[in-house]
Each structure stands twice: as C-alpha cells, then as structure tokens.
C-alpha cells in the first residue's frame, strides 16, 4: 500500500498492511521546536529548523525525519515553507537557533520573555522565559458582547491564535492553492491533511475568555446562539472555498474544538446537543456533500460522552485520544466505538510515558497500544497531542521504532 492508501484504509475501518504513522501532519500531532532541534542532532541531520506554527512553536518536520520514522501524512502548510527568502534566523533560547517566518517578529524583554504587539502597541501574546509557546494576552470581548457581530473580524486581529495563525501560509487564491496541492499529490504518495479552521466553543474561549464563556452557556444562551450562528456562517463560507478548490485533492480536513478536561467534559450533553451539535452537522454535511475529504476532530480531554453524537453528525476521526482522562481507556474506546470512528492518536502518552519513561517502558507502551487500537483499521499512530519541548530524542526514536517493530519493519 502507499501511504495515502494506508491512511484511507484505516479511516474506512479496513485493515491496512501496517499501522499508519503521523508526526507533523497537523498542528495537533507535531513536535516542539526544542524537542525537534535535539532530535535532529541525535539523527545527524544538519539543516535549519523552521517554526511554522509560531504560537505553539512547532517545527516543520523535514523529509529526512518523515522517511526515518515512516510517516504517512503531510500537512498542506509545508507547501508554504519552501522559500528561503521568507525566513530569518533567530536564537530562541541559548544555543537553539531556528527560523521564524518574516511576518512574525516577536521582541525579547529584559527578563528573557518574548512578546508580540498589535499595531497600537498593545501586547497580543507572550512566551515567558523558559516556556515553549506563546500565551494569549487579549480577550477582545472579555467585558461583554458587542451589540452586533458585524465587526467580529476586527476582534480576531487581537487574538494571537488568529493574528499569528499557521494558516497565514494558505491565504492564497484558489487557483494557486489548487496548483500547489495538486503538485504535492502528484509528487508524493503521502496522505494530505488541511486545516479547516473550524472552531466553535474555542472561539468563545478566545473572544470572551474561557470562564466568561462557560457562564454564558448557562446564563445567556440566546446571545451565544446568535454568536455561534455567526461563527458557523463564517466557517461555512471558508469551507465552501476549500471544498471547491481542493476538495478532491485533500484527503483529510481538520476541525479543532476542545470539549473536555482531564477529569471530565467541559459541558453537559444537553448543552452540547442544543448549541454545538446542530452546527457541527451543518458543517460536516457540507463537506460530505461537496468533497472527498474525511473529517478529523481534534478535541482534548475526557470526551467519551460526546463520541456517539460526533459519529452521528459525520466526524470520521477523533484526536488526540487522551487516554489518561476519565472514561478514555484505550481498550474501552476501541470496543465501544472502534467500528465507527478512527482514533488518530493515543499511541503514547506524551506527558507521562514519553517524557519520563525508560526506553523499555516506551517500547512496551507503544506495542500494547498498537495491539489494542489497530485491529480492523481505525487507528493512526500519533502521540497524544504535540511532542513536548523537554522530551529527550532517544525517547522519540524509541517510540517510533516501536511502531516499526509492531509493523514488522525492524
């Protein structure tokens, strides 16, 4: 099988020739620039490291690493990282020189932290000294909703997740986007993943701040409904463009909306079904009717209670399959939902085993998870969310080599 065939087979719940693998195929299955810098040194790869997701500080994974680990997936955004003139060197931490895109120019404070400002000089985001990502500093509607949502795009400019989005790379006209993705599809057998830019509950977090938006869900559902209708219309317009231009070329389109935390879901099922489920269905239905793309939902935390509804509205894939959360046991998820939805992730716990385990711990954990999750397809190996900055390179190599061992390649 080709990589693309392997991924599609897994999503269709047909047993592929081996477990498909993802590293860097999305901004939720990537690797921190610090961890990637150390990994490349360990592998003897000498070339600049480019930070394509500047908020999360994620590295663009080089083809040398993709081939070494047998990765089957490519993110569309890599098409817009190829021009050397659009990058500049910057020392992020002592001894770590990487490259940022020219449009991203953070400043360094005397305390060693990094920050960005808007055109009026207000701090948009900040990365504390020793931290590994930029935090949002402005919540445009923190004090309340505006009378109308007509100027919502002005508010978006104040949100670092949007002002500094990795999707700046794909703000091209439809013909150019189609040409670039068409060329990628012809020159590689990898499955191609694109960000759909779809967020609903998280847009409330970004604009109102998380605590305020949770109170709104209980106390002001009328305003929340109007807000979600506006967001859904905007997402639909964007999806129409993506489906029209590359819906026959991209294999997987990614949504992102965190619905859970470690101890349980963020919201009750009734609120989800009233406010979010119908709007997800509108968006999923449009994609299903107007493209060949499979639909990937990134949703952290304990989301088990939502999975039947997510399947019903049309999601094909969930990620990151955070198995250390309440109700998210890998064997239970596979037993109850493995015939209806694909688990893209859950391959190893990034925050515990991958970060603190011995090589033997890591190998055993990966082999066990592959055994549980891969039967009859429905599984793409990836770490649970992005590989963190502090994870040693030997641990990363051990994890991906364990998948290769499971696949009978070593």
DSSP string of 352-400, one letter each residue: THHHH--HHHHHHHHHHHHHHH-TTS-EEB--SSSBPTT--HHHHHHHH
The span from the CA of 91 to the CA of 62, in Å, is: 20
CA 245 to chain centre: 22
Under the banding of pLDDT at 50, 70 and 90, the label for residue 81 is confident
Residue showing tokens 């409330």? 204
Average pLDDT over the chain reads 96
CB 328 within 8 A of CB 321: yes
Of the candidates 176, 2, 11, 4, the residue with the CA atom closest to the CA atom of residue 74: 4
Per-residue pLDDT reduced to its tens digit, 51-66: 999 999 999 999 999 9
Average pLDDT over residues 92-119: 93
pLDDT higher than threshold 80 for residue 169? no
The span from the CA of 349 to the CA of 385, in Å, is: 8
Residue showing tokens 């959360």? 325
Computed from CA positions of residues 63, 65, 70, 75, in that sequence, does the dihedral angle turn out positive or negative? negative
Of the candidates 172, 4, 2, 181, the residue with the CA atom closest to the CA atom of residue 78: 181
pLDDT higher than threshold 80 for residue 272? yes
Under the banding of pLDDT at 50, 70 and 90, the label for residue 220 is very high
* Confidence at residue 172, expressed as pLDDT on a 0 to 100 scale: 72
* Confidence at residue 294, expressed as pLDDT on a 0 to 100 scale: 98
Domains of the chain: 3-30+65-75+139-406 (3.20.20.210)
Under the banding of pLDDT at 50, 70 and 90, the label for residue 397 is very high
DSSP β-bridge partners for residue 255: 198, 297
Residues 6+ apart with CB under 8 A from 353: 361, 362, 365
pLDDT higher than threshold 90 for residue 171? no
The span from the CA of 189 to the CA of 205, in Å, is: 38
Residues 6+ apart with CB under 8 A from 190: 3, 4, 66, 71, 72, 73, 74
Residue 272: what are its φ and ψ, rounded to 5°?
-60, -45
CA 157 to chain centre: 21
Angle in degrees, 0-180, between the axes of helices 221-246 and 201-208, rounded to the nearest 10: 120
Eight-state DSSP code of residue 276: I
The span from the CA of 118 to the CA of 123, in Å, is: 7
pLDDT higher than threshold 80 for residue 23? yes
CA distances from 372 to 2, 19, 174, 254 (A): 23, 12, 41, 25
Residue showing tokens 């559902």? 221
For the chain, the first-to-last Cα distance in angstroms comes to 18
CA 394 to chain centre: 24
pLDDT higher than threshold 80 for residue 26? yes
């Amino acid at each position: 099988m080709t990589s693309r065939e392997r991924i599609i087979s897994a999503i269709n719940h047909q047993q592929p020739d081996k477990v498909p693998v993802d590293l860097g195929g999305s901004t939720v299955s990537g690797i921190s620039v610090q961890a990637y810098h150390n990994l490349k040194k360990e592998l003897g790869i000498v070339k600049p490291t480019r930070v394509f997701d500047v908020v999360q500080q994620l590295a663009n994974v080089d083809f040398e690493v993709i081939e070494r680990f047998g990765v089957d997936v490519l993110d569309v955004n890599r098409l817009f990282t190829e021009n050397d003139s659009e990058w500049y060197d910057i020392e992020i931490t002592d001894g770590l020189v990487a490259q940022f895109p020219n449009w991203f120019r953070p400043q360094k404070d005397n305390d060693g932290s990094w920050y960005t400002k808007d055109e009026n000089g207000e701090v948009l985001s900040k990365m504390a000294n020793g931290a590994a990502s930029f935090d949002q500093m402005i919540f445009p509607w923190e004090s309340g909703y505006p009378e109308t949502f007509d100027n919502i795009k002005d508010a978006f400019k104040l949100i670092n997740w949007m002002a500094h989005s990795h999707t700046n790379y794909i703000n091209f006209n439809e013909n150019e986007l189609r040409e670039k993705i068409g060329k990628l599809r012809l020159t590689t057998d990898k499955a191609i993943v694109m960000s759909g830019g779809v967020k609903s509950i998280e847009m409330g977090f970004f604009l109102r701040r998380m605590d305020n938006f949770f109170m709104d869900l209980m106390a002001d559902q009328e305003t929340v409904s109007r807000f979600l209708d506006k967001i859904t219309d905007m997402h639909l317009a964007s999806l129409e463009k993506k489906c029209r231009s590359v819906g026959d070329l991209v294999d997987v389109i990614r949504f992102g909306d965190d619905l859970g935390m470690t101890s349980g879901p963020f919201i009750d099922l009734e609120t989800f079904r009233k406010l979010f489920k119908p709007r997800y269905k509108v968006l999923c239905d449009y994609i299903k009717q107007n493209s060949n793309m499979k639909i990937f939902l990134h949703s952290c935390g304990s989301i088990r209670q939502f999975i039947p509804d997510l399947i019903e509205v049309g999601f094909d894939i969930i990620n990151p399959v955070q198995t250390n959360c309440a109700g998210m046991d890998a064997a239970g998820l596979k037993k109850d939902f493995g015939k209806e939805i694909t688990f893209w992730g859950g391959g190893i716990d990034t925050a515990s085993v991958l970060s603190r385990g011995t090589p033997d711990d890591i190998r055993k954990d990966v082999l066990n998870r592959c055994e549980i999750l891969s039967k009859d397809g429905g599984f793409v190996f990836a770490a649970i969310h992005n590989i963190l900055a502090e994870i040693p390179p030997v641990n990363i190599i051990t994890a991906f080599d364990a998948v290769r061992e499971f696949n009978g390649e070593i």
